[in-house]
Chain A
Amino acid sequence: MTYEFELPDVGEGVAEGEIVSWLVEVGDAVTEDQPVAEVETDKAVVDVPSPVDGSVAEIRADAGEMVPVGDVIIVFAEDGEETATDEEPSDAPDSTGEPASDTDDERVFAPPSARRLARELDVSIEAVEGTGPSGRITTADVRAHAETDESGSEPTQAIESVETDSVPATSASREITLAAPATRKLAAEEGVELNAVPTDKTQEGEAFVTPAQVQQYAQSQQAAQAADVAAIGAPSGREERIPYRGVRRTIGQQMEASKFTAPHVTHHDEVDVTQLVERRSTLAEVADEQGVSLTYMPFVMKAIVEGLKEFPALNATLDEDAEEIILKHYYNIGIAVATDAGLMVPVVDGVDRKGLLQLSSEMNELIEKARERSIAREEMQGGTFTITNFGAIGGEHATPIINHPESAILGLGEIKEKPRVVDGEVVVRSVMGLSLSIDHRTIDGATAAQFANTVKRYLETPELLLL
């Protein structure tokens, strides 16, 4: 029995998702809950798990394609039956002389010249839409498909040809593999899964792998990866083309929308956080005992909430259609997080109603989830103000881009010890740069400066947070 798998609602109320990449190929065996695809919605990339044990019979959506929720994206053959591709290689050429790979249910009608051109251009003739009588495929159709498909299927085709030409990177997939401890160590060093190493040797009826086989497999895997890179990149090697899609494209579109919509002004200031540094190190010990890692961030969040209460224009959204400014009386603060996939902004809700420890543990959890890509879409929604802590990596000031449609974003610089004049004397103080970008449509520069002053006051004298 085959199982048609529809794109599930991977986030609350998501209408469509983009297939970022397929993690399986037609013919692959899958187990229940094994991730088969990465699907991206808004800012989250989620793994779509297989619902069944079986094998992949058909993949119906290309990587990069936007797919409405409910569309069939992949068809599984449940265990106990073979997929079509499993059967094909064993087919003897049939008696009518038609090649074994020609399955008539997907027979396309195209003259030999068009079929040859398709091979030349690495186009799957089955994928070409014919414009001739009754949908016959012409050479022009093949060319048109090749041009529109340049970014889509071509790189994968190229990879295939590279692999078949030079790199026999075949993998096995066993349950049990016997190997000497030294071999296992070598495999671990090479990052190689022992069960994937091809072997024809057996011991006591089980597959047995030698160190040489591990080495060879590791090399073939590296070569295959190099081939992948080469296939995607420009042939000269001086340039490389990588796909602009998925999280990267979402970030780009979001930045574009923000910067082209909201006229940005960035207000720079510096805050003396010497007291805060002391307080935090004292409190961090207590927090540690409760198993919470306390950073500066919860203090900054609290200080910001105080500022926002005083200057609600910074906790607002401009509703252009209604010609109204929406002031928000709740304080959900987004934390910009650099992940392997790109920038993500998990949101800590109700910052005004939570204590430092709770904020710390919630935030740490969200950041961890974002980095592991297990974060839910709703955990990145509903923010009213965003903090970007570029100082964690380095730098004192920046010009952050507002997380549209919010109205302001605060960038935190690195905390550095600097000479400062206190009571007429030069002393060493801990100083942090602040970079506050505002939407100048709704917020004046003076308001921004006043907000910054309030935040500064709370950070300079953290005891005020107790009041």
Chain B
Amino acid sequence: MVVGDIATGTDVVVIGGGPAGYTAAIRAAQHDLDVTLIEKGTYGGTCLNHGCIPSKALLHATDIAQQATDAEQFGVSFDEPEFDLPTMIDWKNDVVGQLTGGVEKLCKANGVNLMEGRAEFADENTVRVIHEGAGQGGETVEFEHAIVATGSRPIEVPGFEFDGELVLSSRGALALETIPDELLVVGAGYIGMELSTVFARLGTDVTVVEMLDDVLPAYEDDISRVVKGRAESLGIEFNFGEAASEWTEDGDGIVVTTETEDGETTEYAADKTLVAVGREPVTDTMNLEAAGLSTDENGFLQTDEQLRTDIDGIFAVGDVAGEPMLAHEGMHAGEIAADVIAGEPAAFDNRAVPAAVFTEPEIATVGLTEREATDDGFEPIVGKMPMQASGRALTMEESDGFVRIVADEESGFVLGGQIVGPEASEMIAEVALAVEMGATLEDLTSTIHTHPTLSEAVMEAAANALGEAIHTLNR
């Protein structure tokens, strides 16, 4: 302890107030444990402040504009949409503020002690909370259990340090006050694709360069193809097999040089560039070594099924504890860690974590693909329902995409699903439930789905796998 520090004790200290951390803190408090949540920025973490929520707000706002334009074909005409970006950003900030304020209130209402500052371990039972800036002093918190939930941050490409002006991270892009005429996006992963969509709809000329040879390399070809087609129709240009190597200022703008594997270089001029090549765990702020913690070769804290690290009493949840770096995974892990600390027989034994990409159209997946199922020793059967055959999709003029269900042939157990199409992020919940429950194809096909809705496509795809589909030809 440093002289002058104020020392307190607590049952559970949670480091980081993002989705994983605040969920863990609230659940632990619900277990009547004394909980201290330490946050150095704003409650809600990346997701609420700089990720999922602001990006979805902007995607929605710009989607309205897009729909207004598209409505002409069914006889509804508007004038050309006009964008008032500062208003849009204010509205987005209001949404974010409402949610982060809600998180803070929920924490307090559940009896969580909130502390502001950066936490660092002093030893395996103590953290120091350092208040940055004026005042300097610190506080020492002794804990029985610690839950590390420090999250992740965008990876910086060497030479492309984020400056908030010309070289933007996703966070910077979501806070822009003016619409750039030209935007170069480095990286065609889900963040790059979502933000490209936002800016393309705002009228920006968007060019995407990607080191690999396709958009959304983590997804199957027939899925990424649908999204890429729609992105191109929004005017987004793609250049594959190129890595950003350096940039120079050019007047008010930027010129980025890319290089192929063969050393061929290309120069792109733009107002700004957005670098979205992935995220990395935040582990360098909290003096891990003092607690005896260390990271694995990918920089993550390793945990077991009960989210315990190697050090007794210290847990890790959320992005800092490894892939997949998804808010809902972190929230579930946060609950489990708190339950485990409270002595409940909880474990993160989930079969599958759903994932969604809010492109146009959306992508959502859960569980195993056909290939993964084969690799895992199953003999999978697959059923597909194209959105073209969905009455509801046609009435929405949103007939790109499909629902695919993967199941074990012998038992009929649903192993996974891939959806690309309108509201895919909502539809995937049913498939996730099926995978988690150990439901069979028959369970899905025997459940009556509302007509006319998009969710019927899940039932139809399951029926297609069984060779019993009515609205598609059984393959």
Interface residues of chain A, those whose CB is within 8 Å of chain B, are 92-102, 104-105, 107, 109-112, 115-116, 119-120, 132-137
Q: Which residues of B contact A96 (CB under 8 A)?
A: 324, 352-353, 367-368, 372
Complex: A133 Cα to B439 Cα, angstroms: 9
Q: Is the CB of A92 within 8 A of B353?
A: no
Contact A93 B321 (CB under 8 A): yes
Number of A-B contacts (CB under 8 A): 86
Question: B411 near A109 (CB under 8 angstroms)?
Answer: yes
- Does the CB pair B376–A112 fall under 8 Å? no
Q: How far is the CB of A11 from chain B (nearest CB, A)?
A: 39
17 contacts across the A-B interface (CB closer than 8 A): A92-B300, A93-B302, A93-B303, A93-B321, A96-B353, A97-B323, A97-B326, A97-B353, A98-B352, A101-B305, A104-B376, A110-B438, A112-B350, A115-B347, A116-B346, A134-B411, A136-B413
Q: Is the pair B322, A109 in contact by a Cβ cutoff of 8 Å?
A: no
A204 to B238, CA, bound (A): 62
Q: Which of B329, B413, B442 has the most CB of A within 10 A?
A: B413
The main secondary structure of chain A at its interface with chain B is loop
Cβ-neighbour of B411 out of A110, A116, A135 (below 8 A): A135
Residues of B near A137 (CB, < 8 A) are: 438
Whether B323 lies near A93 (C-beta < 8 A) is yes
B321 with A105: CB separation less than 8 A: no
Q: How far is the CB of A382 from chain B (nearest CB, A)?
A: 52
Among B346, B368, B438, contact of A136 (Cβ-Cβ < 8 Å): B438
Say yes or no for B19: interface residue by CB 8 A criterion. Answer: no
Q: Is the CB of B298 within 8 A of A99?
A: no
* B438/A109 in contact, CB under 8 A: yes
The interface bits of chain B over 347-362 (1 if a CB of A lies within 8 angstroms of the residue's CB, else 0) are: 1111111000000000
Given contacts A92-B298, A92-B322, A104-B377, contact A111 B352 (CB under 8 A): no
Residues of chain A lying within 8 A (CB to CB) of residue B378: 104
User: Which residue on chain B has the smallest CB distance to residue A120?
Assistant: B345
Q: How far is the CA of A96 from the CA of B321 in the complex (A)?
A: 13
Which residues 43-89 of B have a CB within 8 angstroms of A? Answer: none
B292 CB, min distance to chain A CBs, angstroms: 15
Q: Which residues of B contact A (CB under 8 A)?
A: 296-298, 300, 302-305, 321-324, 326, 329, 345-353, 367-368, 372, 376-378, 410-413, 436-438, 440, 442-443
When A104-B376, A134-B412, A136-B438 are in contact, do A95 and B348 touch as well, CB less than 8 Å?
no
A101 to chain B, nearest CB (A): 6
What CA separation (Å) do A336 and B243 show in the bound complex? 86
Are A116 and B348 also in contact (CB < 8 A) when A94-B323, A110-B438 are? no
Q: Which of B297, B353, B413, B436 contacts A134 (CB 8 A)?
A: B413
Given known A-B contacts A92-B298, A104-B376, A105-B377, A99 and B440 have beta carbons under 8 A apart: no
Q: Nearest-CB distance from A79 to chain B (Å)?
A: 26
Beyond the given A92-B302, A116-B345, A133-B443, please list 13 additional residue pairs across the A-B interface where CB-CB is below 8 A: A92-B298, A93-B300, A96-B324, A96-B353, A97-B329, A97-B350, A100-B304, A102-B351, A104-B378, A107-B351, A112-B349, A119-B347, A133-B442
Task: Compute how far the CA of A120 lies from the CA of B345 in the bound complex, rounded to whole angstroms.
Answer: 5
Name the distance in Å between A405's Cβ and chain B's nearest Cβ. 51
Provide the bound-state CA to CA distance between A132 and B322, in Å. Answer: 34
- Chain B residues lying within 8 Å of A134, measured Cβ to Cβ, are 410-413, 440
Closest residue to A121 on the B side, CB-wise? Answer: B345
Query: Min CB distance, B437 to chain A, in Å?
Result: 4
Q: In the bound complex, how far is the Cα of B303 from the Cα of A266, in angstroms?
A: 69
Q: How many angstroms from the CA of A376 to the CA of B113 in the assembled complex?
A: 70
Closest to A114 in B: B438
Instruction: Kindly provide the distance from the CB of B439 to the nearest chain A CB, expressed in whole angstroms.
Output: 8
Give the top 7 A-B pairs by smallest Cβ distance, nearest first.
A109-B438, A97-B353, A134-B411, A119-B345, A104-B376, A93-B322, A95-B323
A85, B41: Cα distance in complex, Å:
42
* Residues of chain B with a CB closer than 8 A to A100's CB: 304-305
Chain B residues with CB below 8 A from A92, complex form = 296-298, 300, 302, 322
Supposing A110-B438, A112-B436, A116-B345 touch, asked if A95 and B324 sit within 8 A by C-beta, the answer is yes
B350's contact among A98, A119, A120, A135, by CB below 8 Å, is which? Answer: A98
> Chain B: which residue is nearest A109 at the CB level?
B438
Distance between Cα atoms of A210 and B296 in the complex (Å) = 33
A438 to B446, CA, bound (A): 72
Q: What is the CA–CA distance of A358 and B411 in the complex, to the nearest angstrom?
A: 67
The minimal Cβ–Cβ distance linking A138 to chain B, given in whole angstroms, is 10
The docked-state distance in angstroms from the alpha carbon of A97 to that of B416 is: 14
Chain A residues near B305 (CB, 8 Å)? 99-101
B412 touches A97 (CB 8 A): no
Contacts of A104 in B (CB 8 A): 376-378
- Smallest Cβ-Cβ distance to A104: which chain B residue: B376
In the assembled complex, the CB of B347 is this many whole angstroms from the nearest CB of chain A, namely 6
Q: Which B residue's beta carbon lies closest to that of A136?
A: B438
Residues of A with C-beta under 8 A to B349: 99, 102, 112, 115
Residues from chain B with a CB closer than 8 A to the CB of A112 are 349-350, 436-437
Report chain B residues within 8 Å CB of A105: 376-377
CA distance A101 to B321 in the complex (A): 16
Question: Which B residues are CB-close (under 8 A) to A93?
Answer: 300, 302-303, 321-323
Task: Provide the residues of chain B in CB contact with A99, threshold 8 Å.
Answer: 304-305, 347-350
Give CA–CA (A115, B305) in the complex, Å.
Answer: 13
Chain B residue, CB-CB nearest to A132: B438
Closest to A108 in B: B438
Could you say which residues of chain B place their CB within 8 Å of the CB of A102?
A: 349, 351
Chain A residues lying within 8 Å of B436, measured Cβ to Cβ, are: 111-112
- What CA separation (Å) do A105 and B373 show in the bound complex? 10
Chain B nearest CB: distance from A165 CB in Å? 11
Cα–Cα distance between A8 and B377 once the two chains are bound (Å): 32
What is the CA–CA distance of A110 and B351 in the complex, to the nearest angstrom? 10
* A98→B377 contact, CB < 8 A: no
| Chain B residues whose C-beta falls within 8 Å of the C-beta of A120 in the assembled complex | 345
CB distance from B196 to the nearest CB of A (A): 24
A251 to B349, CA, bound (A): 45
What A residues does B412 contact at CB under 8 A? 133-134
Instruction: With both chains docked as a complex, state the minimum distance between the C-beta of A210 and any C-beta of chain B, in angstroms.
Output: 23
Let me know if B322 and A98 touch, CB within 8 A.
no
**Given A92-B296, A92-B322, A96-B353, A133–B440 Cβ distance below 8 Å?**
yes
A94 to B353 alpha-carbon distance, docked (Å): 11
Which residues of B are found within 8 Å of A97, using beta-carbon distances?
323-324, 326, 329, 350, 352-353
